[in-house]
Structure 1
Amino acid sequence: MTEDRTKLQWPKLATAIRAAREARGLSQVALAERAGISEGSVQNLEDASRRPGRIPPSLTKVEPHIGWAEGSGLAILHGGEPTPAPVVHDISANLRGGADKLRGKLPLRIVDELESDDPLLDSTVIRLPGANGVRMTVVVHGQPDATPEQIQEALLAWRRAESQLHGLPDGDDEPQAADGS
């Protein structure tokens, strides 16, 4: 069954995205940088007159950065409302609750970091290229008394670092042994 795209509420979506972005004090450029898309993609999402032939992939990329749960953009297009994204700080509390399990699997310095009261800003799992399923987990904590502007600045810095981590070279060069051979 094909979807009738003429009934989708593009103007409602455009207005909601702009309002959510502005409520977080983000410029179009800042949102684009966080979401890993172009500024033009953000502009297109916020253009109430635009009616693309398909749902742009940039929609799902901006959702977490404007405080929406996954699928909120589609809900708006179908006449609904966005669902707020889960509060990230609750994840940190869950990690602290499971610290006993983690203690047996992680170095104590890592467990101590996870148990800190610093707000959890983000986390990601990065698959290392050419490493046959090896993964790296990164947890990003902020300062406890950070202002919203400082948190935004920290998140932007993290996004830049995250893009570099995702772009790790393939490692075609064989690693050298400790003795240089």
Structure 2
Amino acid sequence: MTEDRTKLHWPKLATAIRAAREARRLTQLALAELAGISEGSVQNLEDISRRPGRIPPSLAKVEPHLGWAEGSGLAILRGGEPTPAPVVHDASASLHGGPDRLRGKLPLRIVDELESDDPLLDSQVIQLPGTQGARMTVVVHGTPDATPEQIQEALLAWRKAERNLRRLSDDDGDEPQAANGA
């Protein structure tokens, strides 16, 4: 995307990122780990004096961890405001056919977990290495009474576990790839 650099509001974006991060009680390092980027990338995004020549790819990676919808960073750069990320209330209801369809395909303990009222923190579909399209689906729930700090702690733990899952390799040394492009 080509933008006129002089018309973009870099200081406004840097201030908004820092405020959103601090509101979620995240350190720069914690945000970096959640987003899968370096701490330096977060520092650069929060540097009010910096005016990069292009939109950094790290911007899109931090948006969901700041509670922003996709494209919010660009909206701020253009003088607007961030859009709050949509809240997912019931993961099973959005699946084709809902929980009744799942009951015939999944073990009851899995359906019960998907139908729980516990907040959905994240999900991922990961291609299994050395297979012809087999994949693993992971759904990460928190506890209903979790504090923001506990939720962030759970998300950091999931990020570390996710990295370990991605490091799995088959006999040929192929790396697994996320099915959803993440």
TM-score, length basis structure 2: 0.87
Gaps of 5+ in 1: 174-181
Within-5 A mapping of 1:1-181? 2-88=2-88, 90-92=89-91, 94=93, 98-172=98-172
Counterpart in the other structure of 1:179:
none
Aligned residues between the structures: 172
Max radius of gyration: which structure? 1
The Cα of 1:93 is off from its aligned counterpart by 6.4
Following the alignment from structure 2 to structure 1, what is the Cα–Cα distance between the partners of residues 50 and 37?
18
Which ranges of structure 2 fall in alignment gaps of 5 or more residues?
Answer: 174-182
Shift, 1:60, TM fit: 0.5
- Whole-Å Cα distance in 1 between the matches of residues 60 and 14 of structure 2? 14
> What is the one-letter code of the residue matched to 1:45?
L
Looking at structure 1, the residues matched to 148 and 104 of structure 2 have their Cα atoms a distance apart, in angstroms, of 35
Query: With CA pairs under 8 Å and 6+ residues apart, which has the higher RCO, 1 or 2?
Result: 2
SS in 2 for 1:109: helix
- Within 1, Cα distance between the matches of 2:23 and 2:99? 35
Q: How much does 1:2 deviate? A: 4.1
Shift of residue 116 of structure 1? 1.6
Could you list the per-position Cα deviations for residues 100-141 of structure 1 after superposition, in whole angstroms to 9, with x for gaps in the alignment?
A: 011122122210111122222111111223322222110011
Contact 2:90 2:117 in 1 (8 A): no
Give the aligned partner of residue 176 of structure 1. Answer: none
**Residues 95 and 115 (structure 1 numbering): CA distance in 2 closer, same or farther, change over 3 Å?**
farther
1:2 to 1:142, Cα distance in 2 relative to 1, 3 A: closer
Share of identical aligned residues, percent?
A: 81
8 Å contact kept, 2:67–2:84 = yes
